Amino acid sequence: MGKLEGKVAIITGCASGLGKQHALRFADEGARLAICDVQETKLADTERLCRERGADVVAMRCDVGDYDQLATFVKAAVDWFGTIDVLVNNAHKITDLRSFLDFSAADLDTELRTSLYASWHMMKLCFEHMRDKPGAGASIINTASKGGIEGTVFHAAYAAAKEAIRGLSRVVAREWGEYNIRVNTVSPGGWTDNTTNLLHKRRPEVQEWARQAFQDNPFGKIGDPYDDVSPVFVFLASDDSHWITGQNLHADGGAWITA
């Protein structure tokens, strides 16, 4: 039996990157899944792979920066599964890597809408379907970043959004404990296809800097999203984490302690 056997999990941003790996790992652990992304074709591939693993899946095209689309997505999940046990707010549109002076207010707005605001809205939309569950209750996992905690250069908009999510999650963890809902964040460290796509137009020295940064940890290697990062999300989604809330877990091979 998988660690998430029978649990209904909503995961945003599942067409590629960490979100796709989370969906696959959750499927392997027995979860029933509601997944979304704005990239419909790639999302369909994730859906197919999850179904091949035996998962029951609801997949829907959804722009997480649009409240009405989020509401429609959550309704579709509840109409199909009847409940929600786990919410993973993963989606985040990264505008670019540039110096703070070169970021525009529009860049910041895009990143806030697709990460902070999306997480804010999804938690509220899912609340009534997650509250007051018996036993270990329900779990919300929001995605933070070491980039916000340490202040990674060229990530001003991203860092601002991620730190806001971390603060919001701590508040909601305090407020929703009485409803048996735990709320945690994960600061992941793993190289994905999205990382490659973000860097492919960069100068070779920038790409090399990124690779060195990703393996700047005690293990001296780059983390794999499926094998190294997603299991932490599985743990927080599982009943084993029932006594953990309001925390930020660094799933980065110790990169934070060497930052």
Active site residues: 158
**8 Å CB contact between 223 and 191:** yes
The answer to whether 70 and 77 have CB atoms below 8 angstroms apart is no
3-state class (DSSP) for residue 130: helix
Question: What are the tokens at 134?
Answer: 């018996």
Q: Which of 231, 222, 225, 226 is nearest to 253 (CA)?
A: 222
User: What DSSP element (H or E) covers 204?
Assistant: helix 204-214
The DSSP bridge partners found for residue 58 are 34
Q: Give the whole-angstrom CA distance, residue 40 versus residue 48.
A: 12
Q: Give 215: exposed, middle or buried? Use CB within 10 Å, 0-12, 13-18, 19+.
A: middle
Residue 207 to residue 205: CA distance in whole angstroms: 5
Listed in order, strand segments (DSSP E) in the chain are 8-12, 32-37, 57-61, 86-89, 138-143, 181-188, 248-251
215 neighbors 222 (Cβ within 8 angstroms): yes
